[in-house]
Amino acid sequence: MTRTALPEPAALAFAVSARDRLALAQALNLLDDRRPAARQCAAAFLEALPAEKQEGGGHLIGITGPPGAGKSSLTAALIQVWRRRGLKVAILAVDPSSPISGGALLGDRLRMHASGADREVFIRSLACRGEFGGLSAEVWPMSLAMLAAFDVVLVETVGVGQKEIDVSKMTDTTCFVAQPASGDSIQFLKAGIMEIPHVIVVNKEDIGMAARKTLSELKTTLGRRTDADGWQAPALSASAALGSGIEALADALDSHRQWLLERGQFAARRRRCQAEWLVKHLREEFGRYGINRLGGEAVLFAELTDAPRRSPIAAYDDLRIRILPQD
């Protein structure tokens, strides 16, 4: 027997919900494991996680923005605020991998170092291995596992244009971090290339003028626009370096969660996230052909958001079987 023997799914799910850190680490390893037997085990594990946390509990946040904008530094600062508020925090940090070697340097952890000894903070890095836009296919299932044990789960990804901010479709609340003096994000917003995030924050306000200017431009661009659900995104400014504006940022993120809850949209959004993940995953594997075989995108989304809760892996395997010609 090799030492990578698969865990017993129900016991693992139980231990994860009881916030056993070693169990969570093993669960994340399992969700990363591509061997067929591991996939089955992972599906059973996800199925065995208690439903409440996944449908209505916790807060799943995406943080995205251009390289070097300060996503990790802001995350570090947010962690401190959340911890002071008594919340337990898990982070999934997605870094690009080397196109040449397939290897990766997972560097976001460094900036979140201050939480390095806190047992109520759990940070897992992920290499986005080429596929899945700026995301990694493991992000959604891993988020579910983390939600079972932590109050706030935050996913960091690099993103500027449309494709890269896909994280916004797989989280409750998305925060876009803008780089002062860089017009790119504003252009993308204006042109409608980039979907409007739920919260926009201009980081590095400590550098002064440039940050203030970017903030006011963003405010003008956003105007009174709302997203499809009617949420109007606030634009804030902060400095991860000075720790300024972080409480307000945490508040803004939480307002969006409250807003979803008050309007009874929270569970629906989580289902939508899973549907988005499934469709994206199918598109990666089968292209438009696959989606069409299942009746096209609109039909598929309707079907998936209505369906009873399933683990994403099991749901995916079912869809796959429906696409693949039977022999």
Partner 1 sequence: MTPPIKRDKPWLMRTYSGHSSAKASNELYRTNLSKGQTGLSVAFDLPTQTGYDSDHPLARGEVGKVGVPIGNISDMAALFDQIPLGQMNTSMTINATAAWLLALYVAVAERQGATPAQLQGTTQNDILKEYLSRGTYIFPPQPSVRLITDIIAYTVKHIPKWNPTNICSYHLQEAGATPTQELAYALSTAIAILDAVRDSGQIGAEGFEQVVGRISFFVNAGIRFIEETCKMRAFGEMWDQLAQKRYGAQSEEMRRFRYGVQVNSLGLTEAQPENNVQRIVLEMLGVSLSKKARARAIQLPAWNEALGLPRPWDQQWALRMQQVLSFETDLLEYGDIFDGSPVIAAKVKSLVEGAMAEMARVQEQGGMVQAIESGYVKRQLVTSHTERMRAIERGDLKIVGLNCYRETEVSPLTGGVDSGIMKVDPRAEREQIERLNAFRAQRNATEVKAALANLTETARSGANIMPASILCAHAGVTTGEWSQTLRDIFGEYRAPTGIDIPANDDSRGARAVAIRSQVTQTGAELGRPLRLLIGKPGLDGHSNGAEQIAVKGRDVGFEIVYEGIRLTPEQIAKAALEEGVHLIGLSVLSGSHVEMVEDVFNQLDQVGLKGLPVVIGGIIPESDAALLKERGIAAVYTPKDIDMNGIMVDILNLIRKHHELPPVAAI
Ligand X SMILES: Nc1nc2c(ncn2[C@@H]2O[C@H](COP(=O)(O)OP(=O)(O)OP(=O)(O)O)[C@@H](O)[C@H]2O)c(=O)[nH]1
C-beta pairs of 98-107 under 8 Å, 24+ apart in sequence: 99/130, 102/129
Q: How far is the CB of 118 from partner 1 (least distance, A)?
A: 9
Contact (Cβ atoms closer than 8 angstroms) between residue 274 and residue 314? no
Stretch 11-30: interaction string toward partner 1, x if CB under 8 A: ----------xx--x--xx-
Selection from ligand X, partner 1, Mg ion, none that 122 binds (CB < 5 to 8 A by kind) is: partner 1
Q: Which of 127, 210, 248, 323 contacts partner 1 by CB under 8 A? A: 127
* Enclosing H/E stretch for 252: helix 246-262
* Enclosing H/E stretch for 256: helix 246-262
Stretch 231-270: interaction string toward partner 1, x if CB under 8 A: ----------x-----------------------------
125 binds partner 1 per the rule CB under 8 A: yes
Q: How far is the CB of 273 from partner 1 (least distance, A)?
A: 23
Q: How far is the CB of 205 from partner 1 (least distance, A)?
A: 15
Selection from Mg ion, partner 1, ligand X, none that 124 binds (CB < 5 to 8 A by kind) is: partner 1
- H-only helix segments in 18-70: 21-32, 36-48, 51-56
108 binds Mg ion per the rule CB under 5 A: yes
Alpha-carbon span 230 to 28, nearest angstrom: 35
Selection from ligand X, partner 1, Mg ion, none that 295 binds (CB < 5 to 8 A by kind) is: none
Alpha-carbon span 92 to 144, nearest angstrom: 11
Selection from Mg ion, ligand X, partner 1, none that 158 binds (CB < 5 to 8 A by kind) is: ligand X
Q: How far is the CB of 195 from Mg ion (least distance, A)?
A: 21
Q: How far is the CB of 243 from partner 1 (least distance, A)?
A: 8
Per-residue 3-state assignment (H helix, E strand, C coil) for 258-324: HHHHHCCCHHHHHHHHHHHHHHHHHHHHHHHHHHHHCCCHHHHHHHHHHCCCCCHHHHHHHHHHHHC
User: For residues 92-111, which are near partner 1 according to CB under 8 A?
Assistant: 97-98, 100-107, 109-111
What residue ranges bind ligand X (CB under 6 A)? 67-73, 108, 111, 158, 203-204, 206-207, 239-241
String of DSSP letters for 66-83: STTSSHHHHHHHHHHHHH
The residue among 23 and 236 lying less far from partner 1, judged by its C-beta, is 23
Q: How far is the CB of 105 from Mg ion (least distance, A)?
A: 12
Q: In angstroms, what is the C-alpha Rg of the chain? A: 20
Contact (Cβ atoms closer than 8 angstroms) between residue 195 and residue 162? yes
**Smallest Cα–Cα separation from 151: which of 61, 217, 71?**
61
Other residues' Cβ atoms within 10 Å of the Cβ of residue 183: 12
75 binds Mg ion per the rule CB under 5 A: no
72 binds Mg ion per the rule CB under 5 A: yes
- In the DSSP assignment, the letter for residue 64 is E
Cβ partners under 8 Å of residue 4, min gap 6: 33
Q: How far is the CB of 208 from partner 1 (least distance, A)?
A: 13
Other residues' Cβ atoms within 10 Å of the Cβ of residue 216: 13
Selection from partner 1, ligand X, Mg ion, none that 129 binds (CB < 5 to 8 A by kind) is: partner 1
Residues near Mg ion (CB under 5 A) are 71-72, 108
Contacts with partner 1 by CB under 8 A lie at 1-4, 21-22, 25, 28-29, 32-35, 38, 68, 97-98, 100-107, 109-111, 113-114, 116-117, 119, 122-125, 127, 129, 241
